[in-house]
């Protein structure tokens, strides 16, 4: 294998091997742009070095050969005494990790060659400035000396001279500083600053390799989901100098505005400076447009090059350049980072310019960006201060900006929000009991738990702002307050603001502006209108591209007419999952209790009869909202005890009543029932189809309600398209029994209403056994909906409600998985079961309809997987629908 590539040998496709920087330096070289000559050491060499602790045996010779060639080209030798070739040794991984890894400039300077450089340049000051920079950077990054020591010494030198900026230090001052710097190195690193240029270079190369594994680099990769095993390439690039006087300088530029996408002149320039000065903010830069006045020739050339780059990369590029005595040099380019909004705008602008087509435009944006654009945001123009105090920072779990009164339990959240208050639900952690409160709240704040905690996962699903794990906050639910390390106390009713995009928590109200993109999806803002937002225009067009391309249909998980209508506005093509659980809560709880407690068939039938019209009404509304589109209704799924009071609470109530000798007949019966139904492991207990088989009349009541509702809609000239879905089936026999009963009920309804009803009957595939016997199950099912939440639980043996809070963080840190399998489908495990079940199901029944419901249906990566395995639709929460549409379009293009 070859470990070193000259800049003339690489190209932009070789990012895996040469890193982004190296690949693009090569690309620019081959485009004929002025790039200082150099070579790139591959990521493979880095990986070997990091794995074995030593560089590959062949590397040294290969580097020597390339260095020889470079020296020949430049007609001087590295560190040559009378006229030294100097190089930079620069990190550069496949994905840019800004400022995370190391770069050393001016390699090759020594006590002797500094004199040669001074003579060649005719500038003593410049030479000593370059030398002190080398010792400083080398000392810090290669020898591990605390950088502040150098900065303090530099500061002291400036103070001694009573000057403010570096450029006011003269050669003699810098020379003294070099002596000082070398002393610092000697004391701190226990060795002399190396005078041998090749030793400098080799040590710098190793330091760049090592910088792949610094803590901050690792942390950055975890956050950005960059794999840890890519390694970095190392670029050795001959130096050009921006610090040679006022006709020299260095700058950064964008080919268009990364915030708006607008074309124009965007960048910063700094005269008489070396590259790192621009970012360090030591001196004030001038806007790039000023370069036209400073150096017209270089400016024009730069504009020309930027155009070349945009046309070549067909995208926004950012660049680093240096001007050495009127000569322009390109030091870096890459397709530039941009805000989510700019990504949409740029993609459509490039289509209009004819640079890319619609399919390519879809690759330039993604669902995560779209989701970001849909959240309301804090008005940045309002400074924090005065009435607003920042009181903490947690994990940015679900983006958006929310303001409301702090409440510390779900009951209060619901009560206050009903009376029109905006509230933020504050909990240590949330659990499924908090669902009502979470729905009622503007946002959710917890002091415990990470990105995969209950609060985070649920909030993301609902599109609700959430900050979790804000550990400075001590939440005291009982006293309805939280205290903040440092003193503040937030009482129930105090207004707080939380920013789910950066995790910041404020006491006080930060003003919020709604997202124009949501206004658009809600139909309150129209593309094409005179005053339409540019962003909305771009989103509108990209969504049209996606809808034209995609094969997957997108449905919503919605349980009521209100959600269904919103989902429709957002583009839902039906409901993929209507849960019926909520229809058994609230005022109906009492009826359900009676059903569960029934001792006789008569009693049971009585309560079922009372539930029937209520259920039917729910469905009538839903079918009306989704008229003409399929609605998949799932029969009751959760274990019965969820509809009964909490066992401890109830025991206390009974005990108290006993003590007071109050009558407590009913409570006692209830408690017995709770005991009877108590399960060690309810997730694997009496739920789903098992309930339907054990509680006579329960499922048939639901089927009857669905059928009667459909009949009523038909009589009202509607077009109901109900699909009945049986949950938690493990074997075809379960399904057959329920199906036969259901068909009988449907026939009865057909009979007595005289309406010709067609209701599809299908099942969820959410147990491994169901997936493994999908071929048999398809005999009795007209459709499958993969319940990938439960399937993930049961395939991994993870209890979703427990593991995310307990050990997932450790798993993520250890790299066992890069992302929670509840968030993104586990392709290898759960995914392969889905794949084989799709195949087996379709073999039995070629027209089997296939979908997925649950968290994964709205997750970008997972949507791509579902497209690949050939599902017909994904179903997700209403707020995720645009994201799913976009990703389905991207998957198909």
How far apart CA 27 and CA 30 sit, in angstroms, is: 5
* Number of residues binding to ligand ADP, judged by CB under 6 A: 16
* Cross-strand pairs, 327: 324
Q: Which span sits near Mg ion by CB under 5 A: 457-465, 510-518, 679-687, 765-773?
A: 765-773
- 105 belongs to the binding site for ligand ADP (CB under 6 A): yes
From Mg ion, ligand ADP, none, interface partner of 99 (C-beta below 5 to 8 A by class) = ligand ADP
**Residues 617, 618, 622, 623, Cα dihedral to 10°:** -40
Q: How far is the CB of 692 from Mg ion (least distance, A)?
A: 14
Residue showing tokens 């002797």: 112
Q: Which one of 787, 831, 878, 882 is in contact with Mg ion (CB under 5 A)?
A: 787
Query: Among residues 202 and 766, whose Cβ is nearest to Mg ion?
Result: 766
Q: How far is the CB of 731 from Mg ion (least distance, A)?
A: 16
454 catalytically annotated: yes
- 854 belongs to the binding site for ligand ADP (CB under 6 A): no
Query: Among residues 42 and 788, whose Cβ is nearest to Mg ion?
Result: 788
Q: Which one of 117, 331, 342, 518 is in contact with ligand ADP (CB under 6 A)?
A: 331
Q: Which one of 174, 184, 203, 237 is in contact with ligand ADP (CB under 6 A)?
A: 237
How far apart CA 45 and CA 52 sit, in angstroms, is: 11
Q: Which of 431, 424, 417 is nearest to 400 (CA)?
A: 424
- 766 belongs to the binding site for Mg ion (CB under 5 A): yes
Q: Which span sits near ligand ADP by CB under 6 A: 97-105, 121-129, 433-441, 799-807?
A: 97-105
Query: Among residues 276 and 509, whose Cβ is nearest to ligand ADP?
Result: 276
Contacts of residues 356-364 at CB distance under 8 Å and 24 or more positions apart, as own/partner, are 356/314, 358/545, 358/548, 358/549, 358/893, 359/545, 359/549, 359/893, 360/314, 361/542, 361/545, 362/542, 362/545, 362/546, 362/549, 362/886, 362/889, 362/890, 362/893, 363/890, 363/893, 364/315
Query: Among residues 276 and 861, whose Cβ is nearest to ligand ADP?
Result: 276
Answer yes or no: is 787 a known binding residue: yes
- 35 belongs to the binding site for ligand ADP (CB under 6 A): no
Is the CB of residue 398 less than 8 Å from the CB of residue 466?
yes
User: Nearest-CB residue to ligand ADP?
Assistant: 275
- 317 belongs to the binding site for ligand ADP (CB under 6 A): no
From Mg ion, ligand ADP, none, interface partner of 331 (C-beta below 5 to 8 A by class) = ligand ADP
Task: Please report, as residue ranges, which positions from 320 to 379 form the binding site for Mg ion (by CB under 5 A).
Answer: 320, 332
**Residues 434, 437, 441, 443, Cα dihedral to 10°:** -10
**How many angstroms separate the Cα of 763 from the Cα of each of 490, 534, 699, 778, 825?**
48, 44, 14, 9, 20
853 catalytically annotated: yes
How far apart CA 60 and CA 753 sit, in angstroms, is: 87
Answer yes or no: is 557 a known binding residue: no
- 240 belongs to the binding site for ligand ADP (CB under 6 A): yes
Query: Among residues 217 and 886, whose Cβ is nearest to ligand ADP?
Result: 217
Q: Which one of 19, 22, 36, 267 is in contact with ligand ADP (CB under 6 A)?
A: 36
Q: How far is the CB of 99 from Mg ion (least distance, A)?
A: 9
- 558 belongs to the binding site for ligand ADP (CB under 6 A): no
Q: How far is the CB of 235 from ligand ADP (least distance, A)?
A: 7
Contacts with 356 (C-beta within 8 Å, 6 or more apart), sequence order: 314, 347, 350, 364
Answer yes or no: is 99 a known binding residue: no
Instruction: Work out the angle between the directed axes of helices 601-625 and 589-597 (0-180°, nearest 10).
Output: 140
Is the CB of residue 878 less than 8 Å from the CB of residue 566?
yes
Map residues 771-800 to x or -, x wherever contact with ligand ADP holds by CB under 6 A. ------------------------------
Q: Which of 115, 129, 118, 127 is nearest to 166 (CA)?
A: 129
Q: How far is the CB of 128 from Mg ion (least distance, A)?
A: 25
| Dihedrals phi, psi of 631, to nearest 5 degrees | -130, 115
- 132 belongs to the binding site for ligand ADP (CB under 6 A): no
Please write down the HEC assignment for all residues of 861-883: HHHHHHHHCCCCEEEECHHHHHH
Query: Among residues 319 and 350, whose Cβ is nearest to ligand ADP?
Result: 319
User: CB-side exposure of 411: number of CA atoms within 13 Å?
Assistant: 2
From ligand ADP, Mg ion, none, interface partner of 276 (C-beta below 5 to 8 A by class) = ligand ADP
- 591 belongs to the binding site for ligand ADP (CB under 6 A): no
Strand segments (E) across 688-742: 721-726
| Dihedrals phi, psi of 448, to nearest 5 degrees | -125, 160
Q: How far is the CB of 312 from ligand ADP (least distance, A)?
A: 20
Query: Among residues 239 and 883, whose Cβ is nearest to ligand ADP?
Result: 239
Q: Which of 297, 276, 304, 293 is nearest to 32 (CA)?
A: 304
Q: Which one of 99, 326, 613, 815 is in contact with ligand ADP (CB under 6 A)?
A: 99
Answer yes or no: is 600 a known binding residue: no
Q: How far is the CB of 344 from ligand ADP (least distance, A)?
A: 27
Q: How many residues does the chain have?
A: 893
Alpha helices in 123-196 (DSSP H): 124-137, 147-161, 171-189
Contacts with 640 (C-beta within 8 Å, 6 or more apart), sequence order: 596, 677, 686, 687, 691, 695
Answer yes or no: is 790 a known binding residue: yes
The one-character DSSP state at 493 is T
Q: Which span sits near ligand ADP by CB under 6 A: 231-239, 468-476, 557-565, 754-762?
A: 231-239
Q: Which span sits near ligand ADP by CB under 6 A: 121-129, 238-246, 474-482, 743-751?
A: 238-246
Out of 317, 466, 853, 876, which one is annotated catalytic? Answer: 853
DSSP 495-554: EEEEETTTTEEEESPPPEE--HHHHHHTTSS-TTSTT--HHHHHHHHHHHHHHHH--SEE
H/E stretch holding 489 reads strand 489-491
- 92 belongs to the binding site for Mg ion (CB under 5 A): no
Out of 46, 237, 317, 454, which one is annotated catalytic? Answer: 454
How far apart CA 828 and CA 74 sit, in angstroms, is: 52
**How many angstroms separate the Cα of 694 from the Cα of each of 275, 321, 598?**
74, 74, 13
- 332 belongs to the binding site for ligand ADP (CB under 6 A): yes
Q: Which span sits near ligand ADP by CB under 6 A: 235-243, 352-360, 588-596, 793-801?
A: 235-243
- 20 belongs to the binding site for ligand ADP (CB under 6 A): no
Map residues 255-284 to x or -, x wherever contact with ligand ADP holds by CB under 6 A. --------------------xx--------
Q: How far is the CB of 222 from ligand ADP (least distance, A)?
A: 20
Residue 549 CB-density burial (10 A; 0-12 exposed, 13-18 middle, 19+ buried): middle
Answer yes or no: is 634 a known binding residue: yes
Query: Is residue 161 classed as helix, strand or coil in its secondary structure?
Result: helix
Residue 278 tokens read as: 């621009």
Query: Is residue 783 classed as helix, strand or coil in its secondary structure?
Result: strand
- 628 conformational bin, left if phi > 0, alpha if psi -120 to 50, beta if neither: left
User: Nearest-CB residue to Mg ion?
Assistant: 790
Residue 155 tokens read as: 């500061």
Contacts with 98 (C-beta within 8 Å, 6 or more apart), sequence order: none
* Number of residues binding to Mg ion, judged by CB under 5 A: 5
Q: Which one of 59, 127, 217, 239 is in contact with ligand ADP (CB under 6 A)?
A: 239
H/E stretch holding 106 reads strand 103-107
- 320 belongs to the binding site for ligand ADP (CB under 6 A): yes
Query: Among residues 322 and 862, whose Cβ is nearest to ligand ADP?
Result: 322
Q: Which span sits near ligand ADP by CB under 6 A: 232-240, 403-411, 440-448, 722-730?
A: 232-240
Contacts with 379 (C-beta within 8 Å, 6 or more apart), sequence order: 510, 511, 512, 513
- 90 belongs to the binding site for ligand ADP (CB under 6 A): yes
Q: Annotated binding site, which residues?
A: 579, 634, 766, 787-790
Q: Annotated binding site for Mg(2+), which residues?
A: 766, 790
Q: Which residues bind Mg ion (CB under 5 A)?
A: 320, 332, 766, 787, 790
Q: Which residues bind ligand ADP (CB under 6 A)?
A: 36, 88, 90, 99, 103, 105, 237-240, 275-276, 320, 322, 331-332
Q: Annotated binding site for substrate, which residues?
A: 579, 634, 766, 787-790
Active site residues: 454, 853
């Amino acid at each position: 294998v070859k470990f070193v590539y000259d800049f003339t040998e690489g190209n932009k496709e070789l990012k895996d091997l040469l890193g982004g920087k190296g690949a693009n330096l090569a690309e620019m070289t081959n485009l004929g742009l002025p790039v200082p000559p150099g070579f790139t050491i591959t990521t493979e060499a880095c990986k070997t070095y990091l794995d074995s602790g030593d560089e590959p045996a062949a590397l040294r010779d290969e580097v020597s050969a390339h260095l020889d060639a470079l020296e020949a080209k430049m007609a001087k030798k590295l560190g040559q005494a009378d006229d030294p070739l100097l190089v930079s040794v620069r990190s550069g991984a496949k994905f840019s990790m800004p400022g995370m890894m190391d770069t050393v400039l001016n390699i090759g300077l020594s006590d002797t060659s500094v004199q040669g450089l001074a003579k060649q340049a005719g500038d003593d000051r410049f030479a000593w400035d370059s030398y002190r920079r080398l010792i400083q950077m080398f000392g810090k990054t290669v020898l591990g000396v605390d950088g502040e020591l150098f900065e303090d010494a530099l500061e002291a030198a400036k103070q001694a001279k009573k000057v403010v900026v570096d450029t006011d230090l003269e050669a003699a001052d810098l020379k003294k500083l070099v002596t000082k710097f070398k002393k610092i190195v000697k004391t701190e690193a226990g060795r002399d600053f190396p005078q041998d240029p090749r030793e400098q270079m080799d040590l710098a190369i190793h330091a760049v390799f090592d910088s792949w594994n610094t803590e901050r680099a690792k942390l950055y990769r975890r956050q950005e989901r960059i794999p840890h095993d890519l390694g970095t390439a190392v670029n050795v690039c001959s130096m050009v100098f921006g610090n040679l006087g006022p006709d020299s300088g260095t700058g950064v530029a964008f080919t268009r505005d990364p915030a708006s996408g607008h074309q124009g002149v965007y960048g910063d320039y700094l005269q008489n400076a070396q590259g790192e000065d621009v970012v360090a903010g030591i001196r004030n830069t001038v806007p790039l447009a000023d370069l036209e006045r400073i150096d017209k020739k270089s400016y024009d050339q730069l504009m020309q090059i930027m155009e070349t780059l945009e046309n070549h990369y067909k995208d926004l590029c950012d660049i680093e350049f240096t001007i050495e005595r009127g000569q322009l040099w390109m030091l870096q380019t890459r397709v530039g980072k941009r805000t989510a909004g700019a990504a949409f705008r740029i993609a459509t602008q490039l289509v209009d310019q004819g640079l890319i087509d619609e399919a390519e435009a879809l690759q330039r944006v993604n669902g995560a960006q779209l989701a970001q654009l849909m959240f309301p945001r804090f008005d940045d123009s309002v400074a924090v201060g005065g009435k607003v105090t920042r009181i903490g920072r947690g994990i940015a779990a679900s983006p958006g900006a929310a303001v409301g009164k702090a409440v510390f339990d779900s009951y209060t959240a619901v009560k206050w929000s009903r009376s029109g208050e905006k509230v933020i639900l504050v909990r240590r952690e949330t659990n499924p009991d908090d669902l009502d409160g979470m729905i009622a709240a503007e946002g959710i704040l917890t002091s415990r738990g990470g990105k995969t905690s209950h609060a985070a996962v649920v909030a993301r699903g609902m599109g609700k702002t959430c900050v979790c794990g804000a550990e400075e906050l001590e939440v005291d639910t009982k006293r309805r307050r939280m205290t903040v390390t440092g003193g503040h106390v937030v009482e129930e009713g105090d207004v707080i603001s939380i920013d789910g995009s950066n995790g910041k928590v404020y006491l006080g109200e930060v003003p919020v502006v709604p997202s124009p993109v949501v206004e658009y999806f809600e139909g309150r803002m129209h593309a094409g209108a005179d005053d339409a937002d540019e962003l909305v225009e771009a989103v509108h067009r990209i969504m049209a591209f996606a809808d034209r391309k995609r094969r997957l249909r997108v449905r919503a998980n919605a349980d009521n007419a209100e959600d269904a209508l919103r989902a429709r506005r957002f583009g839902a093509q039906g409901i993929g999952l209507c849960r019926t659980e909520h229809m058994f809560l609230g005022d109906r709880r009492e009826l359900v209790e009676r059903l569960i407690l029934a001792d006789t068939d008569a009693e049971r039938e009585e309560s079922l009869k009372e539930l029937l019209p209520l259920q039917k009404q729910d469905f009538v509304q839903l079918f009306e909202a989704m008229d003409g589109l399929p609605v998949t209704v799932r029969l009751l799924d959760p274990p019965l005890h969820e509809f009964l009071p909490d066992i401890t609470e109830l025991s206390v109530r009974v005990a108290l009543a006993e003590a007071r000798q109050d009558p407590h007949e009913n409570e006692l019966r209830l408690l017995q029932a709770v005991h009877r139904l108590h399960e060690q492991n309810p997730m694997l207990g009496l739920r789903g189809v098992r309930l339907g088989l054990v509680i006579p009349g329960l499922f048939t009541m639901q089927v009857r309600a669905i059928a009667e509702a459909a009949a009523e809609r038909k009589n009202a000239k509607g077009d109901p398209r109900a699909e009945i879905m049986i949950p938690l089936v493990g074997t075809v026999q379960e399904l057959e029994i329920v199906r036969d009963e259901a068909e009988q009920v449907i026939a009865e309804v057909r009979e007595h209403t005289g309406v010709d009803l067609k209701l599809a009957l299908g099942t969820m595939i959410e147990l491994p056994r169901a997936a493994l016997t999908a071929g048999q199950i398809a005999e009795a099912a007209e459709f499958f909906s993969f319940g990938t939440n439960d399937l993930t639980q049961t395939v991994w043996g993870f209890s979703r409600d427990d593991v995310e809070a307990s050990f997932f963080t450790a798993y993520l840190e250890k790299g066992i998985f890069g992302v929670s399998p509840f968030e993104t489908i586990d392709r290898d495990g759960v995914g392969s079961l889905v794949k084989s079940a799709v195949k087996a199901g379709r073999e039995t029944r070629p027209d089997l309809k296939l979908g997925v419901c649950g968290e994964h249906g709205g997750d970008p990566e997972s949507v791509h997987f579902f497209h690949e395995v050939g599902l017909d639709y994904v179903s997700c929460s209403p707020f995720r629908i645009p994201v799913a549409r976009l990703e389905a379009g991207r998957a198909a293009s």
